[in-house]
């Protein structure tokens, strides 16, 4: 399997074998993440965030530092040359001179793919439009693998905004490569996109619901997402949805003992604070897992591990 | 004395012995600051500045680099996930996965304390609300100690906005642990907060003035602060105060020969430019001292010195 | 030739011998840029960008990282203490305590010179006002030298906004130290500033044109610049100019076979995308050259090479 110099644009570009390989390397990175290393000493990561994302940006930067490399970049489009009217192609053909690898977030779908077509250095998609967030999907899978010991055979629910949330699209594609049962729980106006549904339904059993009831007791993994007020034209509609998708200790009484709850964060109030100390919560563990997964990708792409 | 893993939230959490110990380590850091070192190689400092402060942020980052460590972070709340409605508890439980120590500035009082309650990694308060700025107090004390050879026995004046300026609150608490005489000089509307006064008056002689006259000739240390226009509803009142608290060479003719003038910076016009080259000015020396004090704290907390 | 501790403020401060020396060191940096090094391990570069410039800032930061050093800084004045009313003199006297060298961009002419007068550490001007951008001029010269093997004897055209574009001012001064013929092509309202013209016309033959026709076939180097809409009170005037200064494959049919096209970037549409893959394009190569030139300057100033 060759990762050297590879672009990471879409989870759809990955085979199951490739995902499993990345997860294996990620696990090997756990002690490296704790100790630090010189694997990428002298290498530079550019983080080009045309859209702010503290979490993803800091995760990439921490991963690079833990491998002994350096980082440069910008955190929002306003301070980029974009302001002066520069297009993505020119930006990446410039920045590729400064860096050995580029992690990029952009509000437009297709932006990362376009960048990769012009860049000589590898591009890692840190989120583009509402469509793709491949490194998030990989860390989600890594978390499930680490916590459950496997992915095959699990019942997994994705809950919340399945229409605009980019993490659930990438995750759904990735999960469809495994032998799982998928439950999609969302309000009618925020249902999973058809183009995603079409693909994953050919591979795994998928059940769509508008209601969280009955799901919590059924599944092994509950993947919650943030429901944003802006998505609802009617505030009353938002209030109703918001209330009905909230996970708290009461609702968890019916859960399997070893249910794990994930969330890409930040959350607003989909998960009550009282759940944080329960045996189910894994959403902060996910954050750590994001570091080791990104370390694995950086080390693979820059040929420091094979 | 144990500093490993300790949060630095308030100067009120420090005993005199602890402060003296930090100042001793800071002095030992002087050659390290000039040479650079590998003491914290592989360690990461996150600077979370929910409120901009170039000075404090760059000082922490330079201190970390001089110890061989790396930094990640953000410089203003606008580019943080705060924008998406995330609370402090979630932010620190995220960032603690990326970093070995967090330096944080926040506009709200109590923010750093709250962060420390949730974080597994140590939190250093880089300024919270109008209340606390413990690392500034430590560097102020270090400057006095280095320049005067002692703190005990000195006459010290704090001048300007003693109500809203967070540095003077932390500094007043710290000074009250020493055997000094304190003069507080401020306009009536910007007097030292009562809760501070109550505590320090039990320990040291404190004299409140509204006028700078007679003070300059009396003291060993003149600590000036910035008076911000926004604090005055009446512009005429501001203009009057602004003029009467300005230190220039003329007013310094009555000063002791070895008077030192400090200022947390930035200044507006509390200190005339002509004073910069006088034998009294130490405010730019303070900036350097901020580096070694923060190096000492980082090295102690991360167990690189004891 | 002594570069240790030297400020880099204006290209006018350089003799031809000094420029040639910097270009020679830059070339020696090519393998170092590819490999990384420890030349400046323990040293800190502060990038103070009071005006955003992703390109120049990232170039300086990448250069410093490739030499093994660290960087701190800010990317726009809004997040600097400037906001609190601090002047440049105080800012540099603060930041010199954090860093071994300062690269600075400022909207006002003379800002870098002022900073250098107050700072104890060397200042590198990363662009000040519309007047100076010495490191851009050096990388432009380096590109010409590398691509043509010489500078003397060439015919060079500067095209576009010669009035407000700071790079062309610095470049024109630098080129006047060589034995070249200079063609200045601009709309009447954007002609080269008189004070520049006066100086360079004493040294080299200069020909001013308002039309690109006839020039392309004549020259060895075509240096294009961005024409900004904001410079034109009349949109119709802008539209006309914009069209007539655009370089495409059609216009290049009359070009010398070994003509090279440079551009400081970002471009808007002065150069058609179809030109990017032609044998003439060197504007992305320039970006790489910016790294090695800035590495040379940093290493010289901080006495890591001589």
Q: Which of A137-141, A173-177, C33-37, C120-124 has the lowest mean pLDDT?
A: C33-37
Q: Would you say domain C135-286 falls under CATH 2.40.50.100?
A: no
Is C86 in Cβ contact with B284 (below 8 Å)? Answer: no
The C-alpha atoms of residue C39 and residue C23 are separated, in whole angstroms, by: 19
Is A54 in Cβ contact with B97 (below 8 Å)? Answer: no
* Unique residue bearing structure tokens 């993490």: A167
Q: Which is catalytic among the residues C43, C57, C66, C105?
A: C105
Is A41 in Cβ contact with C266 (below 8 Å)? Answer: no
The C-alpha atoms of residue A112 and residue A109 are separated, in whole angstroms, by: 8
* Unique residue bearing structure tokens 């095209």: C159
Q: Is A56 a catalytic residue?
A: yes
Q: Which is catalytic among the residues C84, C120, C253, C257?
A: C84
- What residues in B contact A267, CB-CB < 8 Å? 86, 90
Containing H/E element for A104?
strand A101-106
Other Cβ atoms closer than 10 A to A195: 9
pLDDT digits over B134-178, tens only? 999 999 999 999 999 999 999 999 999 999 888 999 999 999 999
- What residues in B contact C45, CB-CB < 8 Å? none
Is C65 in Cβ contact with A72 (below 8 Å)? Answer: yes
The C-alpha atoms of residue A142 and residue A125 are separated, in whole angstroms, by: 18
CA distances from B208 to B50, B182, B184, B283 (A): 34, 9, 5, 23
Q: Do domains B11-131+289-301 and B135-286 have the same CATH topology?
A: yes
The C-alpha atoms of residue B171 and residue B173 are separated, in whole angstroms, by: 5
Contact assessment for residue C260 and residue C283, using Cβ atoms and an 8 Å cutoff = no
| Burial tier of B112 (Cβ tally within 10 Å: 0-12, 13-18, 19+) | buried
Residue among B221, B224, B158 nearest B185 (CA): B158
Is C42 in Cβ contact with B291 (below 8 Å)? Answer: no
Q: Would you say domain A11-130+289-301 falls under CATH 3.40.50.1370?
A: yes
- Give the three-class secondary structure for C19: helix
Does residue A81 carry a pLDDT above 80?
Answer: no
Q: Is A133 a catalytic residue?
A: yes
- What residues in A contact C65, CB-CB < 8 Å? 44, 70, 72
Residue among C8, C290, C292 nearest C123 (CA): C8
Of all residues in chain A, the one with the smallest CA distance to B91 is A266
Q: How high is the pLDDT of residue C208?
A: 97
Q: Please give the mean pLDDT across all residues of chain C.
A: 93
Does residue C194 carry a pLDDT above 70?
Answer: yes
Q: Which long-range contacts (CB under 8 A, 24 or more apart) does A22-27 make?
A: A22/A138, A22/A293, A22/A296, A22/A297, A22/A300, A23/A138, A23/A141, A23/A142, A23/A145, A23/A293, A25/A296, A25/A299, A25/A300, A25/A305, A26/A138, A26/A142, A26/A289, A26/A292, A26/A293, A26/A295, A26/A296, A27/A142, A27/A146, A27/A292
Residue percentage of chain C with pLDDT more than 90? 80
Is A52 in Cβ contact with B72 (below 8 Å)? Answer: no
The C-alpha atoms of residue C158 and residue A263 are separated, in whole angstroms, by: 55
The C-alpha atoms of residue B6 and residue B125 are separated, in whole angstroms, by: 12
Structure tokens, A100: 């050995």
Q: Which strands form B181-185's sheet, in the order they lie side by side?
A: B206-209, B181-185, B155-159, B221-224, B260-262
- Which chains are within 8 Å of C by 3+ CB pairs? A, B
Is B75 in Cβ contact with C74 (below 8 Å)? Answer: yes
> Considering CB atoms only, which of C62, C226, C268 is closest to A99?
C62
Contact assessment for residue A29 and residue A296, using Cβ atoms and an 8 Å cutoff = yes
Is A287 in Cβ contact with B81 (below 8 Å)? Answer: no
Structure tokens, B124: 């250093």
* Unique residue bearing structure tokens 């890692």: A124
Other Cβ atoms closer than 10 A to A208: 15
> Considering CB atoms only, which of A52, A62, A226 is closest to B98?
A62
Containing H/E element for B29?
helix B16-35
Chain A nearest CA to B104, separation (Å): 15
Chain A nearest CA to C259, separation (Å): 21
- What residues in A contact B86, CB-CB < 8 Å? 265-267
pLDDT digits over A22-78, tens only? 999 999 999 999 999 999 999 999 999 998 888 999 999 999 999 999 999 998 765
pLDDT digits over A189-236, tens only? 899 999 999 999 999 999 999 999 899 999 999 999 998 777 777 888
- Which alpha helices (DSSP H) does C37-190 contain, by range? 54-66, 88-95, 111-118, 134-148, 166-175
Does residue B55 carry a pLDDT above 60?
Answer: yes
Q: Which is catalytic among the residues A12, A55, A65, A242?
A: A55
Q: How high is the pLDDT of residue C82?
A: 56
Is A46 in Cβ contact with C35 (below 8 Å)? Answer: no
- Catalytic sites of B, residue numbers: 55-56, 84, 105, 133
Q: Which is catalytic among the residues C56, C91, C143, C225?
A: C56
> Considering CB atoms only, which of C85, C91, C97 is closest to B268?
C85
- Which chains are within 8 Å of B by 3+ CB pairs? A, C
Q: How high is the pLDDT of residue A228?
A: 79
**Chain C positions touching chain A (beta carbons under 8 Å):** 35-37, 52-55, 58-59, 61-62, 65-66, 71, 75-76, 226, 265-268, 273, 284, 287-288, 290-291
Q: How high is the pLDDT of residue A217?
A: 96
Fold topology of B11-131+289-301: Rossmann fold (3.40.50)
pLDDT digits over B193-226, tens only? 999 999 999 999 999 999 998 999 999 999 999 9
The listed range with the strongest mean pLDDT (A237-246, B9-18, B72-81) is B9-18
Does residue B75 carry a pLDDT above 90?
Answer: no
Structure tokens, B34: 């000039």
Burial code of C221-259, b = ≥16 C-beta within 10 A, e = fewer? bbbbbbbbeebbeeeeebeebbeebbbeeebbeebeeeb
Domain boundary assignment for chain A:
11-130+289-301, 135-286
The C-alpha atoms of residue B46 and residue B120 are separated, in whole angstroms, by: 14
Contact assessment for residue A26 and residue A292, using Cβ atoms and an 8 Å cutoff = yes
Best probe of the C interface among B38, B48, B51, B58, by most C CBs < 10 A, is B58
- What residues in B contact A35, CB-CB < 8 Å? 42
Residue among C141, C136, C147, C183 nearest C280 (CA): C147
Q: Which is catalytic among the residues A133, A146, A169, A246?
A: A133
Fold topology of C11-131+288-301: Rossmann fold (3.40.50)
**Chain A positions touching chain B (beta carbons under 8 Å):** 35-37, 52-55, 58-59, 61-62, 65-66, 68, 71, 75-76, 226, 265-268, 273, 284, 287-288, 290-291
Q: Which strands form A101-106's sheet, in the order they lie side by side?
A: A70-74, A44-49, A101-106, A123-128
Does residue A82 carry a pLDDT above 70?
Answer: no
């Amino acid at each position: 399997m060759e990762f050297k110099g590879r672009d990471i644009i879409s989870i759809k570009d990955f085979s199951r074998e490739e995902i499993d390989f990345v997860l294996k390397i990620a696990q090997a990175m756990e002690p490296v993440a704790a100790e630090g290393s010189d694997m990428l000493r002298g290498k530079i990561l550019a983080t080009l965030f045309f859209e702010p994302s503290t979490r993803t940006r800091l995760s990439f930067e921490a991963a690079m530092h833990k491998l002994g490399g350096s980082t440069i970049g910008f955190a929002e489009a306003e301070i980029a040359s974009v302001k002066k009217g520069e297009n993505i192609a020119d930006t990446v053909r410039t920045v590729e001179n400064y860096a050995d690898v580029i992690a990029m977030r952009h509000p437009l779908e297709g932006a990362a793919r376009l960048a990769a077509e012009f860049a000589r250095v590898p591009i890692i998609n840190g989120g583009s439009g509402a469509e793709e967030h491949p490194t998030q999907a990989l860390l989600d899978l890594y978390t499930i693998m680490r916590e459950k010991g496997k992915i095959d055979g699990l019942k997994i629910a994705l809950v919340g905004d399945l229409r605009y949330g980019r993490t659930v699209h990438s995750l759904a594609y990735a999960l469809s490569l495994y032998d799982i049962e998928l439950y999609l729980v969302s309000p009618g106006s925020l249902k999973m996109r058809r183009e995603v549904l079409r693909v994953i339904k050919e591979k795994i059993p998928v059940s769509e619901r508008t209601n969280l009831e009955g799901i919590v007791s059924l599944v092994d993994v509950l993947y919650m997402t943030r429901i944003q007020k802006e998505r609802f034209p009617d505030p009353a509609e938002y209030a109703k949805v918001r209330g009905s998708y909230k996970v708290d200790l009461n609702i968890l009484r019916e859960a399997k003992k070893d249910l794990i709850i994930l969330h890409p964060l930040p959350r607003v109030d989909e998960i009550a604070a009282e759940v944080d100390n329960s045996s189910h919560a894994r959403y902060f563990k996910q954050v750590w897992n994001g570091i080791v997964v990104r370390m694995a990708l950086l080390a693979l792409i820059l040929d420091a591990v094979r």
